[in-house]
Amino acid sequence: MTSASAERHLSIDAVRGMAVLGILLMNIVGMGLPSFAYINPTYAGGSTGADFWMWAVNNVLTDGKMRALFTMLFGASTVLIAERAEGGSGLSPAMIHYRRMGWMLLFGLAHAFLFWFGDVLVVYALAGLLIFPFRKLPARTQLIIGATILLALLAKNVWQAGALEALHAAATAPGAPADTVKAWRQASMAVQAPPEAKAVELAGFGGDFLSALQARANMVMLFYVVLLPTEMFPEALGQMFVGMALFRMGFFTLGWSTRAYLALIGFAYLVCVPFTAWLAAGIAQSNFDPLVLHEREAWQQTTRPFIGLAHAAVVLLMVRAGLFKALTDLLAAAGRMAFSNYLGTSIITSTLFCGYGFGLYGELSRAELLWVVAGVWAFLLIWSRLWLDRFNYGPFEWAWRSLVQWKPQRMLKARAPAAAAAG
C-alpha cells in the first residue's frame, strides 16, 4: 500500500500528465493548420462532419480548460517547491524560484521561435516572477485575488466585444463617416485574420527552416505585443493565484472529501458544460460570424476553470480509489516529465508539419489531426515510463534543474544492490 506522501505525489503528477496531454488537443490545430483555424474552423481544416465535431467537442471540453489546469498546477508547484526548499540546506526558496523563472524564460523564448509560437513558458516565467512573494498568503486571500483578476479580464473582454459590435454597426450604417469605416477595418483584425495571412503561413511553414523560422517569429511578435500583456499574462496570473490557493486547500493532494470532488464534477459537467455547449451552438448557428464568435468566446472564460478542475477531480478520484492504476501510473510518469513532454511535443509536431520535415502543414483536416494526437500521446505515455525506469529526471527537467543548481544533477538511478548469494 502506498504511503500518503507517495499517493499525494502520484495525484499531482497524474493530473499534470493529463493536462500536458490535453493541451495538445487544441495546440495541434495551430501546429498543423494556419493559425486562425484555432479560433474559426471555417478558416482552414474543415468545418463540417467530423471536422465540425472535433471543433465542437474541443471547444466545450478542452479549449482553454487544459491550459487553465496546467497553469493552476504551475501555481501549486510554486508553493510545493518553495516548501521543499525551506526544509533543505541548499539554495534559499527565493533563489531557487527566481533562477527557475529566469531559465524558464530562456527555454520559452527558444521554444517559441524554434518550434511553437504558442509557447506558454514565457508568460509563465513572467507571471511567476510576481506570484512568489504571495505564496504564504491565506488560501482564501489567494483565491480572492485570483478570481478578481480573472473577473476583471472577463469584464474587459465582454466590454471589448460590445464595443466592436457597436463600431461594426456604425461602420456599416448608410453614410458612415470614412474615419469610422477605417477604424472598423483596423479593429476587425482582432476578430478575423487578414486575407493574405493564410497564404503567408502556408508558404512560410511549408518552406525550409529559415522560412518557417520567419513565419514563427512573425506570430511570436504578434503574441508578445498584442496578446501577452492584455490576455495571456493576466489570465496566467489569476489562474496561478487560484492554483496556489487550491494547493494550500488540499485539492491537488487528495485533501478534499470524495463528496467535495463529486460536487465539483457535478457542477462542472451538469451546469458549466451545458452552458458552454450553448455558447458554442450559438457560434455555429451564426456560421462562425467573427463578432458572435468573439463575444461568446469571452463568456466561455467563466466556465474554463471549473471544467478543467472537474477533469482533474476525475483523475484524483481514480487515484484515490485505485481505479485504472495502469493508466494513472502512465499519466503520473508523463506528469513527472511534463517539461520534457511539453517541449518534446513541439519538436515532434514541428518536424511532422514543417517543410523541412515531413511537410504535412495544411495537408490534414481538423479531424485527421486527431491521428497525430493519438500517436504523440501513445509515444509520450510509453517513453515517459520507460525513461523514468532508468533516469531520475526527464532530459529537459535535468537540464533545468542542473542550471538552477549550477551543477549537474544525478541523472542515472542508482541500481539496487544484487541479492547476496546463498551461503
- Please choose, from the candidates 247, 243, 249, the residue with its C-alpha nearest in 3D space to the C-alpha of residue 308: 243
Name the 3-class secondary structure at 391.
strand
**How many Å apart are CA 85 and CA 91, to the nearest integer?**
7
pLDDT of residue 83: 87
Average pLDDT, the chain: 91
CB 406 within 8 A of CB 355: no
**How many Å apart are CA 382 and CA 329, to the nearest integer?**
11
Secondary structure letter of residue 224 according to DSSP: I
Average pLDDT (172-195) is 79
pLDDT exceeds 70 at position 229: yes
| C-alpha 91: how far from chain center | 29
Mutual orientation of helices 4-32 and 325-336 as an angle, nearest 10°?
70
Average pLDDT (326-333) is 95
**How many Å apart are CA 252 and CA 309, to the nearest integer?**
10
Q: Of 88 and 136, which is predicted with more confidence?
A: 136
pLDDT of residue 24: 95
Q: How confident is the model at residue 417 (pLDDT cuts 50, 70, 90)?
A: low
pLDDT of residue 5: 42
pLDDT of residue 237: 97
Name the 3-class secondary structure at 412.
strand
pLDDT of residue 3: 41
Average pLDDT (306-324) is 96
Average pLDDT (188-209) is 87
Q: How confident is the model at residue 186 (pLDDT cuts 50, 70, 90)?
A: confident
pLDDT of residue 1: 35
Cell 517513453 sits at which residue? 383
pLDDT exceeds 90 at position 188: no
pLDDT of residue 127: 96
pLDDT of residue 7: 44
pLDDT of residue 112: 96
pLDDT of residue 235: 96
- Please choose, from the candidates 237, 236, 241, 194, the residue with its C-alpha nearest in 3D space to the C-alpha of residue 218: 194
Tens of pLDDT, residues 365-390: 999 999 999 999 999 999 999 999 99
Tens of pLDDT, residues 133-166: 999 999 999 999 999 999 999 999 999 989 888 8
Q: Which residues pair with 391 in a beta bridge?
A: 412
